[in-house]
Structure 1
Amino acid sequence: MAQETEGKQFLNSVHRYFDEAARHTDVEPGILAQIRVCNSLYKVNFPVEVDGKVTVFEGIRAQHSHHKLPTKGGIRFSTHVDEDEVVALATLMTFKCALVDVPFGGAKGGVKINPRTTPVEVLEKVTRRYATELIKKNLIGPGVDVPAPDYGTSGREMAWIADTYMTFKYGETNALGCVTGKPVGQGGIRGRTEATGLGIYFGLREALQDTEILNQLGIEPGLRGKRMIVQGLGNVGYHAAHFCQQDGVLITGIAEREGGIFNKDGLDVEAVFKHRKESGSILDFPGATNIANSLDLLAYECDILLPAALENQIDVHNAATIKAKIVAEGANGPVTQEAEQILLKKGIFMLPDLYLNAGGVTVSYFEWLKNLSNVRFGRMGRRAEEASLKRIVDLVETTTGTSIGARERAIIISGSDEIALVRSGLEDTMILAYHEMREIMRRKPDIKDLRTAAFYSATEKIAVSYQSLGIFP
């Protein structure tokens, strides 16, 4: 028998998570079968002229579930993109959206290309041509399927896709809603860049207030003073580490492709990020010890291990060496299903990707709403809110005969702008989802971990959606 690819292993792992959660539900088996399967998969080979020669690129777009429209999911550029990986990621998106009550079905896409070695002008050609192929098949649009950035892509690629879509759909007033993660000046939303990392921070903060769990782990409440090792200093890992460090977390180790660095007294995330930008590597950071194999760093002692790079980073070969008390999945699928069983038996608390990195799609939802309404959040209400708060402060000062300072007054009467509203919505989403999972664990004693609780919650919601469509009895 041929050895399974990493993508196939990833997909099988996601299916096993679903199957485990499904057995705790009372959902009719036929509906469970529909929820499990990927609804549609489109693969296309398209030509692009590169240096005067035609090169053929492979693109994939999977729409896992149409129980709600549009479907939603990122586009990754990588030479390792394959069908099973894309379907696995689309499947996770379905359950992720349902868990945090974002009304999208799950999708994912990818193009086999190396974004680091490909010239920008070629990347633009490939991106626009890939978008054109999706448009021709009606596989993209604000009410159909809404892509977003993922590994190897950014707001730049999303802007190219939006521009290409608007060229074909001239006059469509909701056209900017065809994709999220765009630059703010091109229809994006403030707070999207750091959304996934900030969501991780909110999720960790909530978990570190759960005294029932903390007593089992033998650690004190709160993030302050906790030691954290971060794998991946990309957009997700950097922002998660940044917000956690601001709240008193000690970042003792950072792992990247080129190796890892460690300092038991803590690393300045901003300084490390700047060092890598200037030198091209996190290695040789002043005061830190270099770790040649970055995977070795995952086995160092810490309170929180945050794998925020790629999938399958913790597997059966290294799971037993993990000494963290909490493993927080910042990336999609960084821990294999077999490895998770080892970690759970060791008493390690798992914060699953399905929940923890849902910040990106949550704020993408806000961006999509902004594009459909064609108005910036806070534009209509901010000044009215400030005027109302000013009247209250004036009344308090008049009644008490006491004036507050100008700085304090400005803080009190400040109205909510777009980024404040976005972060508030994200914070509320992460708090509610955490307590929903924990409540399921209390109601269903057979469900022993957050991942199963997350899949259970999502499955129940998706089943209700299918039943409401009248497709099933």
Structure 2
Amino acid sequence: MTIAKQLEPEVKPLKKTKVKAKSVLEQFNTAADHIGLNPNIRKILSITNNEIIVHFPVKMDNGEVEIFTGYRVQHNNALGPYKGGLRYHPTVDIDAARALAMWMTWKSSLAGLPFGGGKGGIQIDPSKYSITELERITRRFTYALGDNIGPAHDIPAPDVNTSAQTMAWMADTYMSTRSPAARSMNQHVVTGKPVDSGGLEGRDRATGYGVYLSIKFWAEKNNINLENKTYIVQGFGNVGYWTSWFLEKEGAKLIGVQDAFATLHNENGIKIDDLSNYSLANKNSIAQFPDANQIEMQDFFGLECDILIPAALGNQITEDNAHIIKTGFIAEGANGPIDTEGERILVERGISIIPDILCNSGGVVASYFEWLQNRNGEIWQMDEIMGKLDKKLKQSFDKVYEYSQDKNVDMRTAAYAIAIQRIEKAYIQRGIFP
């Protein structure tokens, strides 16, 4: 097995669209109507708890100073500390952070974790900065966030264009601002760190492994053998790579892949590690990969396949292209890859969708394991971690699938209903202060 993608950031998608809080609220309200959510709790969950915007200066390699804008949105912490990633991307703004933070609340709740939801990042194109500049930007951002993050308050993690290295810089900066006696007790301020810096074995593959497991569980429920099934993947970063790697072991065949630079197709199949090694040798680009044909970007979603895996950014499937999709099954590796209008078209066409808050939840479950490992001063082994991940994700999938079948609703509504009801119970039991 190659670990080539372990510390690589996510590949940016071709369409630089951003997720919107409006879309998440529409999904939330659909599920809230379905379960008859308490109207007072609906009010609470419809808004964020805190929205933090920081502007901070950083000296560049040439001696000039640039001002950056960073965001951290904390949606809800009824179940525990805020939890969610930080991304470095030009589409990052307060509205996108709101949407992503809400998704994290539902995702953590659905997985049965003692976490709430948060999200954020910096509005930046990291490809325009050197590694030393990115380190200074990250450290200054962490310092600017100050006490708005913390191991029992808000726990960031990697996301698009951030990595284990980013988290190591954040952890070191945060711990350096604590008193000497407290530094060792704050290692779990972030998750997704390198293994040698307190990270979790297998964290690199956890999200992609979860996407793969969701596909496998769905196939088992529908008596489908994955061997020789064809699939296409949008995004060949960490999630796209590991999802593909595990599917290849099941005998499934990657026939199409798209990243920020190119769209490839080979009906006879593309070898995952060959493509990964080529990408690493070519500045994380799959362009001109010799064992596939390069096709037009807009033709990607029109490729006929058994499984479609959007694993890039949000709003990639919309009313503009949903009608050309030629698959019966979509597994959402990214957060919000399908907008509400696009989903309406897909559902009308009878295409099954495993929603993001279920499908890509392997990452937040593994983050919980890392947080526990750091907090308790333990070191978990790979086989133990993967076994725990299997069990946790199977429980979540079975709950959603059975609810969907019993209530005759789509899997997204089922997943939201289960997640929201858990939070509703917490509010009912605890009451509203004062």
TM tier relative to shorter chain: over 0.9
- 1:215 aligns with none
Q: Are residues 1:423 and 2:408 paired?
A: no
Q: Counterparts of 1:287 and 1:141 in 2: how far apart (Å)?
A: 47
Q: Select 2:246's aligned residue among 243, 267, 278.
A: 243
- 1:408 aligns with none
- 1:102 aligns with 113
Q: Which runs of 4+ in 1 moved over 3 A?
A: none
Q: Counterparts of 1:117 and 1:363 in 2: how far apart (Å)?
A: 31
- 2:212 aligns with 201
- 1:387 aligns with none
Q: Select 2:24's aligned residue among 6, 11, 14.
A: 14
Q: Counterparts of 1:321 and 1:26 in 2: how far apart (Å)?
A: 35
Q: Are residues 1:149 and 2:158 paired?
A: yes
Contact kept, 8 Å, 2:17 with 2:91, in 1: the verdict is no
Contact kept, 8 Å, 2:81 with 2:152, in 1: the verdict is yes
Q: Are residues 1:139 and 2:102 paired?
A: no
Q: Are residues 1:454 and 2:385 paired?
A: no
Q: Counterparts of 1:290 and 1:133 in 2: how far apart (Å)?
A: 44
Q: Counterparts of 1:16 and 1:6 in 2: how far apart (Å)?
A: 18
Contact kept, 8 Å, 2:240 with 2:311, in 1: the verdict is yes
Q: Are residues 1:44 and 2:54 paired?
A: yes
Q: Select 1:339's aligned residue among 339, 342, 353.
A: 342
Identity percentage over the alignment? Answer: 39
Q: Counterparts of 2:244 and 2:430 in 1: how far apart (Å)?
A: 42
- 2:310 aligns with 307
- 1:176 aligns with 187
TM-superposed deviation, 1:74: 0.5
Q: Counterparts of 1:90 and 1:96 in 2: how far apart (Å)?
A: 10
Q: Counterparts of 1:139 and 1:279 in 2: how far apart (Å)?
A: 38
TM-superposed deviation, 1:49: 1.4
TM-superposed deviation, 1:430: 1.5
Whichever residue aligns with residue 20 of structure 2, its letter is: F
TM-superposed deviation, 1:39: 0.9
- 1:283 aligns with 287
Q: Select 1:271's aligned residue among 269, 274, 282.
A: 274
SS in 1 for 2:290: coil
Q: How does 1:93-132 map to 2 (within 5 A)?
A: 93-132=104-143
TM-superposed deviation, 1:298: 1.5
- 2:430 aligns with 469
Contact kept, 8 Å, 1:155 with 1:181, in 2: the verdict is yes
CA RMSD in angstroms, aligned pairs only: 1.5
Whichever residue aligns with residue 340 of structure 1, its letter is: E
SS in 1 for 2:187: helix
Q: Select 2:356's aligned residue among 335, 353, 358.
A: 353
Contact kept, 8 Å, 1:31 with 1:472, in 2: the verdict is no
SS in 1 for 2:264: strand
Q: Deviations over 1:253-273 (max 9, x none)?
A: 111111211111111011011
Whichever residue aligns with residue 152 of structure 2, its letter is: G
Q: Counterparts of 1:18 and 1:126 in 2: how far apart (Å)?
A: 35
Q: Give the unaligned 5+ runs of structure 2.
A: 1-15
Whichever residue aligns with residue 375 of structure 1, its letter is: E
- 2:12 aligns with none
- 2:78 aligns with 67
Q: Are residues 1:297 and 2:305 paired?
A: no
- 1:385 aligns with none
TM-superposed deviation, 1:26: 3.4
| Number of positions where the alignment pairs a residue of Structure 1 with one of Structure 2 | 415
SS in 2 for 1:174: helix
Whichever residue aligns with residue 400 of structure 2, its letter is: M
What TM-score, normalized by structure 1, do the two folds share? Answer: 0.85
Q: Deviations over 1:104-154 (max 9, x none)?
A: 00000111222112011111111111111111xx21111000000011110
TM-superposed deviation, 1:472: 7.3
Contact kept, 8 Å, 2:69 with 2:122, in 1: the verdict is yes
TM-superposed deviation, 1:174: 2.4
Contact kept, 8 Å, 2:31 with 2:417, in 1: the verdict is yes
Contact kept, 8 Å, 1:310 with 1:331, in 2: the verdict is yes
What TM-score, normalized by structure 2, do the two folds share? Answer: 0.93
Q: Deviations over 1:236-283 (max 9, x none)?
A: 000000001111111111111112111111110110111122234323
Q: Counterparts of 1:72 and 1:435 in 2: how far apart (Å)?
A: 24
SS in 1 for 2:207: helix
Q: Counterparts of 2:273 and 2:73 in 1: how far apart (Å)?
A: 37
TM-superposed deviation, 1:69: 2.4
Q: Deviations over 1:165-195 (max 9, x none)?
A: 1111232242101000000111101010011
